[in-house]
Amino acid sequence: MLEKLKRLAQKALLDRSLAPLLRSCRQLVSERGQANVYALALEVIERYKTLPAAQREAFFAALATGFSPHPDQVLAAATRYAESPAAGNLATLTQAVEPLRQELLRRVNRAPGGTLMLLSMRNDLLGLLRNSPELAAVDADFLHLLSSWFNPGFLRLERVDWQSSAALLEKIIHHEAVHEISGWADLRRRLQPDRRCYAFFHPQLPDEPLIFVEVALVQDMAEAIAPLIESQPDAAAAASARTAVFYSISNCQPGLRGVSLGNFLIKKVAAQLSTELPQLKTFCTLSPVPGFARWLAQATTEGGDAAWSAALQRVNAWRQAHPTPAAPDLASMPKSLQEDLASLCARYLVSASHEALGDPVARFHLDNGARLERVNFAADLSRKGIKQSLGLMVNYLYDIDSVEVRHQQFMDNKVSHSSAVRRLLKPAP
């Protein structure tokens, strides 16, 4: 792994087209004059913009090797601190272990457009990590700084409505990742008084939503997605609604992967809605289960009880008979088989949420302190919903007074779930 990194870095040093960019980077971190820092940061940004995609791996490899701490300096500083743990020695050690590329990123961030460029650079880097895991140290520096700069305390919560700018509304359509927005009429329905959309914005990116959540104000916990996005607007419903259903949350900036924003967004929106509409009593989600079909395809009867094995065999037999199921196939599914499917989904979410094949949406909400409340059959009959979860969706309940306790339960490898889910964990033999 290290040898590959060295080869890539050497390639970068010999590549004449990369040399100007690397030279600008070195000048930027060594410059002391503030005016020159701005000029050099802009130079780095412009040169990175013109860098061919094929050369980005070599560039990041050069950052991984040529902008890392010097081992001899780290060892000397660590030795002095070990011998005398004084404040000055600690400061010297801290300075020695910090990669120079962190200062490079800080200085790029000072330039106009620097923050957006860093997000773009990290997005490029994330695309390289699968085949070049040795670049993980560079990504760790990006994540360290972005987590500080995009701390929720710096972010602005804004309601998106039909009066928002057309440019912002187009971005909402483009970035919706859970339930596709089919056009302007569809978007307008989702912004009516009985529906809400809220987004986080950063001061350096005032026109770029970072993440947004869509909310339906209804009477009861929703069990299917179609009524939420296809029903007719009802302005009076918002004033009498008792339940807020978070039915879609979408990240708009791939470069912020790993920066925790969604949990703060949900909690902040819940707090704002409680103030605006004090009659609201229930805050919940209607969530997809994108990992379920994949897990079901790999599940085995080994280690399971007789009822579990029988349910799995029945569902797998149905899937073999319906290799590409559609909504009519689910509609004709026997009631007993529907119960088997819901039972298996409940088992998946309760037993596998801490494992590699665990559902990412479940991990997000459970780690955020929600409770797995209900499994809903035929809740998402879109092609995507059927492919990912055979049409199942689940509700997670956000009891604001209990989220910290339930978060700790999840950290202790326990999944908080309702009595209704508990009953599903015991399928019929």
- Residue 236: predicted pLDDT: 82
Is the model's pLDDT at 345 over the cut of 60? yes
Segment 281-309 shows an average pLDDT of: 87
* Residues 3, 28: Cα–Cα separation, whole Å: 28
For the residues 27-53, what does the mean pLDDT come to? Answer: 90
Q: How confident is the model at residue 288 (pLDDT cuts 50, 70, 90)?
A: very high
**Is it the case that residue 13 has pLDDT exceeding 80?**
no
Residue 429 falls within a domain, yes or no?
no
Does residue 84 have an active-site annotation?
Answer: no
**What pLDDT band is residue 17 in, cutting at 50, 70 and 90?**
confident
Query: For residue range 108-117, what is the model confidence (pLDDT) as tens digits?
Result: 999 999 999 9
Per the structure, the complete domain to which residue 387 belongs is given by 288-424
Statement: residue 427 has pLDDT above 90:
no
- Could you say which of 149, 178, 209 is where a domain stops? 149
**For residue 1, pLDDT beyond 60:** no
Q: Are residues 294 and 176 in the same domain?
A: no
3-class secondary-structure state, position 31: coil
- Let me know whether 66 and 176 are in one domain: no
262 falls within a domain: yes
Q: Are 410 and 366 in contact (CB under 8 A)?
A: yes
Give the domain CATH number at 162. Answer: 3.40.630.180
Task: Check pLDDT > 70 for residue 2.
Answer: no
Q: What do you get for the CA distance between the two ends of the chain, in Å? A: 51
Helix 56-66 vs helix 19-30: crossing angle, to nearest 10: 40
CA pair distance 279, 267, nearest whole angstrom:
17
Q: Are 315 and 404 in contact (CB under 8 A)?
A: no
Q: Residue 313 and residue 217: Cα distance in Å, rounded? A: 40
Q: pLDDT-derived band of residue 174, with 50, 70 and 90 as boundaries?
A: very high
Residues 73 and 110 in one domain: yes
280 with 316, same domain: the answer is no
For 111, residues 6+ apart whose C-beta sits below 8 A from its C-beta are 38, 41, 42, 45, 117
Domain count, the chain: 3
Least confident window among 8-22, 119-133, 230-244: 8-22
Within this chain, do residues 116 and 234 fall inside the same structural domain, yes or no? no
The larger pLDDT score, comparing residue 117 to residue 14, is at: 117
Same domain? 168 vs 138: no
Check if 365 is active-site.
yes
Please give the residue that has the higher pLDDT: either 233 or 197.
197
Identify the band that residue 33 occupies on the pLDDT scale cut at 50, 70 and 90: confident
Claim to verify: residue 198 and residue 319 sit in the same structural domain: no
Residues 64-117 have pLDDT tens digits of: 988 988 888 989 989 999 999 999 989 998 898 889 999 999 999 999 999 999
Query: Which of the residues 175, 179, 365, 417 is marked catalytic?
Result: 365
The residue annotated as part of the active site, out of 24, 132, 250, 287, is 287
Residue 219 lies in a domain: yes
